[in-house]
Amino acid sequence: MSTALVTRPESAGLFTRVGGLRHTSPGRLKLLLATLLTLGLLAGLVAAVAGQSARSGTDDLGGRAQPLLIEAETIYSALADADTTAAQAFLAGGLEPAALTQRYDDDLQRATTALTAAARRTPAEGVAADAVSTLSSGVAEYAALVATARANNRQGLPVGASYLSEASKLNRETLQPQARVLFRSAQTEVNDGYGAAGAAGWMTLLLLLLTGLLIALLLVQRYLSRHTHRTFNLPLVAATVLTAVLGVGALTLVVNQQSHLDLAEDEGSGPVASIAESRILALQARGDEALTLAARGSGAAYESDFDAVTQRLTVRGGPLINEYARLDPELGHLMDRAADSYRSYVKAHDEVRAMDDNGNYDGAVKLAIGNLTTQTFESLRSDLDFALEDRKAFFTREIGEASGGLGLLTVLGPLLALLIAGLAYVGLRARLEEYR
């Protein structure tokens, strides 16, 4: 026995009735009305979803992802500076200089505060959460090792250098890499956030629906003009104008938002990442110098790291020497001055190494932690700090501009779409009444 698909009578009857509407004038008007109402209501729904999605993505980008990136960089740079400062204080011997002690304490406080804030912004699970957990326990262990190194150094005990080396190893091989993991994770979230903020899929669908609705309204009016000999249907004309206004407004909003998002990425978060990397590498180099001296002849690994870091910071196209002036002349001036300061610092470092290699250890220490070298390095760091704050402010400003109008689209979009649907109903309903 052959088996055939059986169409339910109710469904067949519905399709037959809908299909039959095409053969009468009132029926065609009903189909046109249904089409306009469907497109209008769908456009209103999509406008609400698109506006909310874009606004949510933009708010998350500016309120969570980018701040997380900054907090991760703060943790990273604070740990790097703590490592440097602890080594410099150790070189001073005996009771550490109060300024270096205060700076070390401030670094740990900055790292702890940023870590607490980052913990609130990271997901409950994943590599970022694991990094935060490792850092939370590791910072306390690092502080304890440095405290032990200090205590031994004050008593003139050589074992203090071993504790300092162990603390630096923990900082560089565990804490800083975990901070880097958190930083890279935050960078990924920022990059993904631009796509979410744009809500390209929903915005494209909205523009397509509004275009379809506008075309449908024009075709319906052409049909009515030909069959009813009336040139204008005022409700449909009003609906057409409102659709055009909503479409142009939505398109303008999309272009404006994408323009500001592109600026935020190219001239905001992009340079923030590069400048932050420059600051971290510079602090790493400064720490290498101090730890090489503290190791007293067994710090070749630190000196090799210094050379590698210097190569990255002095190569054109790297994080420090780049086309920053293309983004902003003042930023370019700041970064050029920072690059000059780093070159001056490297020259001072070469003198430190020459003294140490020739047996003048005390002279090398004095030059390394002395005012001239310190001022040169602090000039570098100050310029990088200022440049970083400038780009953070630029990003915040552009993200604020990108979110402008999204609230209006979320609220006014559906209201205008409902008004368009209502006008279409009034316009075609009047023609339908003529057949009664």
3-class SS of residue 321: strand
pLDDT at 62: 80
Q: How far is CA 140 from CA 136, 206, 419, in A?
A: 7, 53, 62
Total residue count of the chain as it appears in this document: 436
Residue, of 91 and 353, whose pLDDT is higher = 353
What average pLDDT does the segment 208-220 reach? 92
d(CA 239, CA 245): 10
3-state secondary structure string across 255-318: HHHHHHHHHHHHHHHHHHHHHHHHHHHHHHHHHHHHHHHHHCCCCHHHHHHHHHHHHHHHCECC
Closest to 249 (Cα-Cα) out of 67, 37, 406, 60: 406
pLDDT band at 3 (very low <50, low <70, confident <90, very high): very low
Of 279, 313, 277, 273, nearest to 188 (Cα)? 273
CB atoms within 10 A of CB 181: 18
Which tens digits make up the pLDDT trace of 70-105? 888 889 889 988 988 888 888 776 667 788 889 899
Say whether 372 sits in a helix, a strand or coil: helix
* Global confidence as pTM: 0.74
User: Would you state the pLDDT for residue 5?
Assistant: 46
Write the CB contacts of 293 (distance below 8 Å, at least 6 apart in sequence): 87, 91, 299, 352, 356, 361, 364, 365, 368
Q: Which tokens belong to 118?
A: 């980052």
Provide, rounded to the nearest whole percent, the portion of the chain with pLDDT above 70. 91
pLDDT for res 29: 80
Q: What angle do CA 313, 270, 286 make, to 5 degrees?
A: 30
Phi, psi of 323, deg, nearest 5: -85, 55
pLDDT-based confidence at residue 2 (cuts at 50, 70, 90):
very low
Mean of pLDDT values over 232-251: 90
**Residue 27: per-residue pLDDT:** 67
- The span from the CA of 213 to the CA of 218, in Å, is 9
Q: Which of 207, 206, 240, 209 is CA-nearest to residue 222? A: 240
